[in-house]
Structure 1
C-alpha cells in the first residue's frame, strides 16, 4: 500500500529521502485525495495484463495512449539532466498518470491549502494519478531506478511548466489548469 507523509525540506537532503517513523506525519489516502486530488490504486505489477483491472481503469478514464519509461543511467539518455528535470517543481496542463512496474520513487505534491509538500512513495504495482495543475516533482530513491507505464487521453503532452520560471515557461500560477485545480481543491479561508 502506498505511503504518504508531510515533509519538511529542511530535514531532507540528497542522501536522506525518507524520514524515520517518528519524524514523519503520515497522510491517509482519503486526506491525500481530498487535499490534493491525487488518486491511487494498488494493482499487481506481475498480473495486470491478465486481471483486467488496469484496462478497466483506462477505459473508465478515457486513456487512449500508453508507453513505458525506464529511468536508469543505463537506459535513459542524458540521465542526470533528466532526473534533475523530473525533480524540479512543475505542473502539467493534463493529468500525470503513472503505473509503476519496478523500482521505487517519490512523487512530492503540494497541498492545495498549505502549499506544504506531501511525499508519496511509489513502488511496483502503484498506479497514481496527479491532477492537471498540481505542483509536483519526482525524486528517485537511492537506487536511482524506476520503470513505469505512462498514460494520456489522446496524444501525449510532455510540457512541464516550472514553478516561478516566467521566462521559459510562462506564469504557471496564472495558467488555466492551475486556476481550475485551485478552484476545485483549495478551501476558502474562514474569517
Structure 2
C-alpha cells in the first residue's frame, strides 16, 4: 500500500528526503481529492486497469543519476519536476522499480500530501490537481507512464494556472 502522509514543508532539507510529519493520510482522503491508488503485482493487472480507463498509449521512463551527464544536470531537472504545477491530462504512473515521491496539494486545506510510490504502486493524479515529483535519496525510479491519448507534457505552474479551465473543473469535481 502506498505510504501517504502530510509533508513537513521544511525547505532546509533536501526535497528527496522523507519530510514525514508523522501524520498519515488515508486512502479515503486521497480519493476525496481525486487520486486513484492501486497495488498491482502483474503487468496483466496493469493492462486490465489501462483498458478499463481507456488508456491507449504508454512508455517507460528511467530516472537515475546515469540518465544525466552529471549531478548538476540531474538536480536541475528534478527542480523542474518539483515546481508546483498541474497538467490538463491525468498523470498515471506505475512503478516498475525504484521509488519516488508525488506530492499533491490538498485543495481543502492547502497541505502537501506526500505519496511514496514503490514497485507495484500505480497512482493516478487527476487533471487540474497541483502536484510535484521527485526521486527519493536513492535517485532511481523506473515507471510505466500511461496516457489516454498522445502525451501532452505541458506543465502549468502555480499561481498562473489558478484560472486554468482544467483547474476549475478539478475543483468542481472535488466539491470546491
Q: Does 1:8 align with 2:8?
A: yes
Q: Please say if residues 112 and 186 of structure 1, whose CA atoms lie closer than 8 Å, have aligned partners that are also in contact.
A: no
Q: How does 1:19-58 map to 2 (within 5 A)?
A: 19=19, 23-34=21-32, 36-44=33-41, 48-49=42-43, 52-58=44-50
Larger Rg computed on CA atoms: 1
The residue aligned with 2:17 is 17
Query: Equivalent residue of 2:75, what SS?
Result: helix
Q: Please say if residues 4 and 114 of structure 2, whose CA atoms lie closer than 8 Å, have aligned partners that are also in contact.
A: yes
- Per the alignment, do residues 76 and 152 of structure 1 end up closer, same or farther by CA in structure 2, a change over 3 Å counting? farther
Query: Equivalent residue of 1:97, what SS?
Result: strand
Distance 2:135 2:13 in 1: 13
The residue aligned with 2:168 is 179
Shift of 1:79: 2.6
- Per the alignment, do residues 155 and 15 of structure 1 end up closer, same or farther by CA in structure 2, a change over 3 Å counting? closer
Query: Equivalent residue of 1:132, what SS?
Result: coil
Q: Please report the TM-score for the alignment, with normalisation by the length of structure 1.
A: 0.84
Q: How does 1:70-81 map to 2 (within 5 A)?
A: 70-76=62-68, 78-81=73-76
Distance 1:178 1:16 in 2: 27
Q: How does 1:52-71 map to 2 (within 5 A)?
A: 52-71=44-63
Query: Equivalent residue of 1:10, what SS?
Result: coil
Shift of 1:11: 7.1
The residue aligned with 2:154 is 159
Distance 1:89 1:110 in 2: 9
Higher normalized strand content (fraction of residues)? 2
Aligned-pair RMSD on alpha carbons?
1.8
Q: Any stretches of 5+ residues in structure 2 without a counterpart?
A: none
Query: Equivalent residue of 1:4, what SS?
Result: strand
Q: Any stretches of 5+ residues in structure 1 without a counterpart?
A: 165-170
Matched residue count: 173
Q: Please report the TM-score for the alignment, with normalisation by the length of structure 2.
A: 0.91
